């Protein structure tokens, strides 16, 4: 089906089902229960899951498949956001032109940067992309203020032209929509203590994510994808066969840049503002973390990694001492206090510590990421030989 083999069709179906049923899947605990804070089924967080999923899927095409480690991908995300907000300001609050423009602008931008950066590989490529991204970040903060609105960030105002929309009579800021369907619209379904939220914005993002996922799957299985894998495995040997690998790497770079632009456009479509901090190198680092954590070079890995990091960012950082005390309150006071003191640095404001530790452990012991770990466990259970697995989980970059 859909030109995919059986295994891929199953994977794709699995992703479709989980994505569409996310409001149920992410809300396993009843509203009133003590575990309700582990629910992730609210629109804002679910949107982030899929948007950063798109970002990581795109990054994976460059890093996981081609082996080029870019440390400046957030620049494309930022550019996409700015383009989308400008469309909202000038043309219309409909998200279609905004997202289209953000993809195109990010594509052109990545074409320029990729054309220059891809002349080098290995660590030099990483430094070049990092330099370009930091330059874009500084410029967005300083000189380009007329376009980016500097530190404040680009926002909608009441007197924006919006030529396609009618005159704004509501007196408030208009809302992003898809032909009238407002992005912030949420339908709640209450079933016996559970409360499920269906957000219009989430489903728009989810559909785009599924398309993006399908495309990346086709790229993985195509002759083009095979060529990218060849570049990752041994670029020198490929060059000696008389093949110019540059067009392929550039294509991969632009595709992943466009994915990042799409993610940026969607971020702006869900919440129409754009700031320069989205382009900073820590943001680029985050997408690297997501891809590695999930499993670079695998199909599901980036999605998993993005969801994992965004989930912990939101849920872990909400756990404070009061919550911890309420968990351990059944124990004697001294043990309770002791446990809280131990756990305290790792949750709440300190969740980055947990993230860093998890990340280190993954890189040290499980270079294939969570997906690799999952397959290993699965093979241990079913007793299948590990050698039969596809070698896609080997994240060795081009040197």
Partner 1 sequence: MDAILLQILNGLDKGSAYALIALGLTLIFGTLGVVNFAHGALFMIGAFCAVTLQKILSISTVTIDPTKTDFLGNPRQVKTPLVESWFGEAAGQAIINWSVPLAILFAIPIMLAIGYVMERGLIRHFYKRPHADQILVTFGLAIVLQEIIKAFYGANPIPTPAPDLFRGSFDFGVLIGYAQNAIIYPYWRLVYFAFSALIIGLVFAFLQFTTFGMVVRAGMADRETVGLLGINIDRRFTIMFGLAAVVAGLAGVMYTPINSPNYHMGMDFLVLSFVVVVVGGMGSLGGAVLAGFLLGILESFASMNGVKGFFEAIYLPSIDQIVIYLVAIIVLLTRPRGLLGRKGVMEE
Binding of residue 127 to partner 1 (CB under 8 A):
yes
Binding of residue 352 to partner 1 (CB under 8 A):
yes
Binding of residue 119 to partner 1 (CB under 8 A):
yes
How many angstroms separate the Cα of 339 from the Cα of each of 330, 334, 335?
12, 9, 6
Compute how many residues bind partner 1; rule: CB under 8 A.
42
State which of positions 215-244 bind partner 1 (CB under 8 A): none
Under DSSP, the state recorded for 6 is H
Of 105, 115, 384, 151, whose CA–CA distance to 280 is shortest?
151
Binding of residue 353 to partner 1 (CB under 8 A):
yes
For partner 1, the closer of residues 266 and 393 by Cβ is 393
Q: Which of 28, 30, 97, 122 binds partner 1 (CB under 8 A)?
A: 122
For partner 1, the closer of residues 138 and 155 by Cβ is 138
Binding of residue 292 to partner 1 (CB under 8 A):
yes
Of 203, 205, 179, whose CA–CA distance to 268 is shortest?
205
State which of positions 308-347 bind partner 1 (CB under 8 A): 345
Binding of residue 191 to partner 1 (CB under 8 A):
no
Q: Which of 2, 13, 143, 226 binds partner 1 (CB under 8 A)?
A: 143
HSE-CB of 264 using CA atoms within 13 angstroms: 37
Binding of residue 134 to partner 1 (CB under 8 A):
yes
Binding of residue 126 to partner 1 (CB under 8 A):
yes
Binding of residue 97 to partner 1 (CB under 8 A):
no
Stretch 23-62: interaction string toward partner 1, x if CB under 8 A: ----------------------------------------
Binding of residue 174 to partner 1 (CB under 8 A):
no
CA 52/CA 286 separation, integer angstroms: 10
Binding of residue 139 to partner 1 (CB under 8 A):
yes
Helix (H, G, I), strand (E, B) or coil at 197: strand
Binding of residue 367 to partner 1 (CB under 8 A):
yes
Crossing angle of helices 95-117 and 74-90, in 10° steps, is 150
What six digits make up the tokens of 163? 């030529």
Please provide residue 39's backbone torsions phi and psi, each rounded to the nearest 5 degrees.
-70, 140
Of 295, 303, 314, whose CA–CA distance to 362 is shortest?
295
Of 123, 147, 139, whose CA–CA distance to 397 is shortest?
123
For partner 1, the closer of residues 72 and 80 by Cβ is 72
What six digits make up the tokens of 162? 């919006």
For partner 1, the closer of residues 126 and 216 by Cβ is 126
Of 167, 152, 8, whose CA–CA distance to 93 is shortest?
167
CA 162/CA 87 separation, integer angstroms: 8
Q: Write down the least CB distance from residue 115 to partner 1, Å.
A: 11
8 A C-beta contact, residue 95 and residue 176: yes
- Interaction site with partner 1 (CB under 8 A): 69, 116, 119-124, 126-128, 130-132, 134-135, 138-139, 141-143, 281-282, 285, 288, 292, 345, 350, 352-353, 355-357, 359-360, 363-364, 367, 395-397, 399
């Amino acid at each position: 089906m859909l030109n995919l083999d059986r295994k891929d069709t199953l994977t794709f179906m699995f992703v479709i089902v989980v994505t569409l049923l996310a409001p149920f899947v992410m809300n396993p605990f009843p509203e009133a229960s003590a575990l309700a804070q582990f629910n992730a089924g609210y629109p804002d967080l679910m949107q982030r899951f899929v948007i950063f999923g798109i970002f990581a899927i795109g990054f994976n095409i460059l890093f996981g498949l081609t082996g080029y480690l870019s440390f400046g991908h957030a620049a494309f995300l930022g550019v996409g956001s700015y383009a989308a907000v400008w469309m909202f300001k000038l043309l219309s609050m409909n998200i279609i032109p905004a997202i289209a423009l953000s993809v195109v602008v990010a594509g052109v931008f990545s074409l320029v940067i990729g054309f220059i950066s891809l002349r080098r590989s290995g660590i030099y490529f990483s430094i070049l992309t990092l330099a370009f991204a930091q330059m874009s970040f500084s410029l967005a903060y300083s000189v380009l203020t007329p376009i980016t609105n500097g530190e404040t960030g680009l926002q909608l105002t009441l007197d924006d032209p919006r030529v396609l929309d009618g005159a704004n009579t509501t007196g408030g800021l208009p809302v992003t929509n898809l032909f009238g369907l407002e992005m912030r619209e949420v339908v709640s379904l209450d079933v016996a203590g559970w409360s499920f939220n269906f957000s219009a914005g989430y489903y728009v993002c989810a559909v785009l994510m599924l398309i993006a996922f399908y495309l990346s799957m086709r790229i993985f299985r195509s002759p083009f994808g095979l060529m990218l894998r060849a570049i990752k495995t041994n670029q020198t040997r490929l060059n000696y066969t008389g093949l110019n690998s540059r067009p392929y790497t550039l294509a991969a770079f632009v595709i992943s840049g466009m994915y990042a632009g799409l993610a940026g456009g969607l971020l702006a479509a869900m919440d129409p503002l754009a700031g320069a901090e989205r382009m900073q190198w820590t943001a680029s680092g985050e997408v690297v973390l997501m891809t590695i954590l999930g499993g670079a070079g695998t199909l599901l890995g980036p999605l998993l990694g993005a969801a994992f990091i965004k989930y912990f960012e939101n849920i872990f950082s909400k756990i404070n001492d009061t919550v911890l005390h309420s968990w351990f309150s059944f124990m004697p006071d001294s043990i309770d206090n002791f446990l809280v003191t131990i756990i305290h640095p790792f949750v709440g404001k300190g969740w980055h510590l947990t993230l860093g530790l998890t990340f280190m452990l993954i890189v040290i012991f499980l270079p294939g990421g969570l997906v690799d770990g999952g397959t290993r466990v699965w093979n241990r259970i079913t007793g299948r030989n590990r050698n039969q697995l596809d070698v896609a989980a080997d994240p060795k970059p081009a040197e």
